[in-house]
Homo-oligomer: A and B are copies of this chain.
């Protein structure tokens, strides 16, 4: 008998028919004698619909009230799923974030888990119940409802897996597992059987979209075996673990890409002193995630700093920069939209110099201009024009031998 956390995302439970299908899947695991905790997202487009309602009222609704609003989505799903599991003869019980003991900080819409008191869940499991927990939501120490932000249900699942010491955390999705690239845009992409947490972290951070980076980080830190599986078939999916054998001696394990990137550039009259730190401290304090940062100090030119963000953060970023212009000390700020990021990822890179050079070489052959570069031990990212994104991804996928043979 194992303890299993099963997480189902919005597309897997978009209709009552899909909820019935998911319940049958859960029922099988229960019949195999496992203790089951299920984590659910909101049904299909529910969250979008709720955001649309709020935007009919205000362009900038209070984040606290948005959490109140959005947290209803998972509550609907979990109740319907519990009803269906009861219908199948199981004892199922649903829990909101606060009932499940998931405590967060007070950063509405982007809260972080502070602790998870699993007492309630463990008691219900020992009563032979299937426990269904609302993903994405928690409660602050002073009783405010919070949400965890993008991919929050994955994080909920992994946090529960850690706190109940689950044997595995299965994240069910509408894809078979993690692919070398997004098969919708890179036709030769193929599924990976195994992937390292760190590689997945880079892929997730780079917008591969299947798993939330916070969830992967949590799983890595707590050594939770994490599987990405399809809701629609019985395949084993992709297993995330600490170390993976070099599959087919591949140095690069995946190509990720992400559209809607904006580059902001700021110019200074005088050389940087502490202003660089000030900018990014200010942005962080406003919960704006900055991705690639490039600074340039060339003799005879004014020093500049550029950084990339997601387009959705642009308005807020500009507001923050403008209102702190004097304190931050820059004299000019510009931004370029219509950009995308393409990255290659693989833990084998660290021992293979020349991977970045090979990447740049191929992009040059494809006549794709590189606007920004960022490297880590296991990935190289470039910012390029968005119009070239898919072509670049396919070219790099081919360049590093990832194509399905």
Contact surface of A with B, Cβ cutoff 8 Å: 16, 19-20, 50, 53-54, 56-58, 61-62, 64-66, 68-69, 71-72, 75-76, 78-80, 82-84, 86-87, 93-94, 96, 98-99, 120, 143, 145
Main secondary structure of the interface of A (DSSP, over half): helix
User: Does the CB pair B96–A82 fall under 8 Å?
Assistant: no
Neighbour of A84 across the interface among B58, B86, B87, CB < 8 A: B58
Give the Cβ gap from A317 to chain B, nearest Cβ, in Å.
22
Chain B contacts for A66, CB-based, 8 A? 79, 83
Give the Cβ gap from A65 to chain B, nearest Cβ, in Å.
4
Name the residue on B nearest A16 (C-beta): B56
Copies of chain A in the complex: 2
Known: A64-B93, A69-B76. 20 other contacts (CB 8 A): A16-B57, A20-B57, A50-B76, A53-B76, A54-B83, A62-B82, A62-B86, A65-B94, A66-B83, A68-B94, A68-B96, A69-B75, A69-B79, A69-B83, A72-B72, A72-B76, A75-B75, A96-B145, A98-B98, A120-B143
Known contacts A56-B16, A94-B68, A143-B99; A62/B83 CB under 8 A: yes
Bound-state CA distance A16–B62 (Å) is 16
Known contacts A16-B56, A76-B50; A68/B87 CB under 8 A: no
Bound-state CA distance A9–B283 (Å) is 43
User: Does the CB pair B82–A53 fall under 8 Å?
Assistant: no
User: Does the CB pair A57–B83 fall under 8 Å?
Assistant: yes
Bound-state CA distance A53–B96 (Å) is 19
Give the Cβ gap from A74 to chain B, nearest Cβ, in Å.
9
Chain B contacts for A83, CB-based, 8 A? 54, 57-58, 61-62, 65-66, 69
Give the Cβ gap from A342 to chain B, nearest Cβ, in Å.
38
Chain B contacts for A79, CB-based, 8 A? 54, 65-66, 68-69
Chain B contacts for A80, CB-based, 8 A? 53-54, 57, 65, 69
Give the Cβ gap from A42 to chain B, nearest Cβ, in Å.
10
Greatest chain B CB density within 10 A among A64, A71, A76, A93 is at A76
Name the residue on B nearest A20 (C-beta): B57
Give the Cβ gap from A330 to chain B, nearest Cβ, in Å.
32
User: Does the CB pair B75–A68 fall under 8 Å?
Assistant: yes
Give the Cβ gap from A27 to chain B, nearest Cβ, in Å.
14
Neighbour of A58 across the interface among B57, B87, B99, CB < 8 A: B87
Chain B contacts for A87, CB-based, 8 A? 57-58
Give the Cβ gap from A146 to chain B, nearest Cβ, in Å.
13
User: Does the CB pair A19–B57 fall under 8 Å?
Assistant: yes
Greatest chain B CB density within 10 A among A19, A20, A68, A143 is at A68
Bound-state CA distance A86–B62 (Å) is 8
Name the residue on B nearest A87 (C-beta): B58
Neighbour of A16 across the interface among B53, B86, B143, CB < 8 A: B53
Greatest chain B CB density within 10 A among A20, A66, A82 is at A82
Chain B contacts for A69, CB-based, 8 A? 75-76, 79-80, 83
Neighbour of A86 across the interface among B61, B72, B99, CB < 8 A: B61
Bound-state CA distance A23–B108 (Å) is 24
A-B contact pairs, 16 of them (CB 8 A): A50-B76, A53-B76, A53-B80, A58-B83, A58-B87, A61-B83, A61-B86, A62-B86, A64-B93, A65-B80, A68-B78, A68-B82, A69-B79, A72-B76, A98-B98, A120-B143
Chain B contacts for A96, CB-based, 8 A? 68, 145
Name the residue on B nearest A52 (C-beta): B16
Neighbour of A71 across the interface among B19, B50, B75, CB < 8 A: B75
Neighbour of A72 across the interface among B19, B20, B53, B75, CB < 8 A: B75
Chain B contacts for A56, CB-based, 8 A? 16
